[in-house]
Amino acid sequence: MNTDLTKAQNDYAIFLPALSGFYATFVGKQRREDYVDPARIPYPNMESINWLNKKEGMFNYHWTLYSAGHAELDINKDAPKELMVRERDRENSWLLGDSGGFQIATGVLKMDWANAKDPNDPARMI
Q: What percent of the chain has pLDDT over 90?
A: 51
Total domains present in the chain: 1
Residue 101 CA to residue 105 CA, distance in Å, equals 6
Residue 122 lies in a domain: no
Mean pLDDT, all residues of the chain: 86
pLDDT of residue 31: 95
Residue 56 lies in a domain: yes
Residue 80 lies in a domain: yes
Residue 105 lies in a domain: no
Residue 121 lies in a domain: no
Quickly list H helices, the chain: 5-8, 21-30, 83-86, 101-105
pTM of the model: 0.76
Of 34, 54, 89, nearest to 45 (Cα)?
A: 34
Quickly list H helices, 31-100: 83-86
pLDDT of residue 120: 65
Residue 45 lies in a domain: yes
Residue range 70-125, pLDDT digits in tens:
888 888 999 999 999 999 999 999 999 988 888 778 877 777 767 767 766 655 55
Domain with 64, as residue range(s), is 3-99
